[in-house]
Amino acid sequence: MKLLLTFLSAAIFCAAIPRMQDDELAKSIERGKMIYSENCISCHMGTGEGITATFPPLAKSDYLMKTPENAIQAIKFGLIGKVTVNGVSYDNMMPEPGLANEQIADVMNYIMNSWGNSSEKKMITVKMVEAVKAAE
């Protein structure tokens, strides 16, 4: 009986872990949506499509999805210089928005799960944001 009880407890606990992460991701995405609308929408637009040849798209963005650490760095420290997104070169400046690490993680989770992007339930965490250093 103890063995059965232990097994059932373990099964319930293990089943709850992915759900808790899904809940955390959903909450982060919701917070990120607010941050995006306050800081990013004027350049990258409400649909994440940006403005051709001026502001790169975030929607279906290879740059964002293949190298999220580069996107984190751009949000955290700003970006000056050329980047290529979906085969199109952009050479503009993105000022540092002055967001806290938690806000950067939240907006990244929102962007990576909107407009056709999918993080496949992989969550950007504060620790991941903290690990990104300024380019030298």
Boundaries of domain holding 50: 23-131
Measured at the CA of 12, the angle between CA 121 and CA 112, to 5 degrees, comes to 5
Residue in the structure block whose two tokens are 């990244």 = 108
- The tokens of 122 are what? 């992989």
How far CA 3 is from CA of 6, 9, 28, 99, 132, in Å, comes to: 5, 10, 38, 50, 45
pLDDT given for residue 134 in this prediction:
80
Predicted model pTM? 0.82
Domain assignment present for residue 63? The answer is: yes
pLDDT given for residue 19 in this prediction:
56
Domain assignment present for residue 56? The answer is: yes
Mean residue pLDDT of the chain comes to 88
- The tokens of 102 are what? 């938690």
Structural element, H or E, at residue 79: strand 79-85
Domain assignment present for residue 48? The answer is: yes
- The tokens of 51 are what? 């403005």
Domain assignment present for residue 41? The answer is: yes
Domain assignment present for residue 13? The answer is: no
pLDDT tens digits, 65-92: 999 999 999 999 999 999 999 999 999 9
3-state secondary structure of 118: coil
Q: How confident is the model at residue 17 (pLDDT cuts 50, 70, 90)?
A: very low
Domain assignment present for residue 1? The answer is: no
Task: Specify the number of domains making up the chain.
Answer: 1
Domain assignment present for residue 83? The answer is: yes
Domain assignment present for residue 64? The answer is: yes
Alpha helices in the chain, H assignment, sequence order:
2-39, 41-44, 62-66, 68-77, 101-111, 126-131
Q: How confident is the model at residue 34 (pLDDT cuts 50, 70, 90)?
A: very high
Whether the CA torsion 48, 25, 107, 82 is positive or negative: it is: negative
Read off the CATH number of the domain in which 52 is found.
1.10.760.10
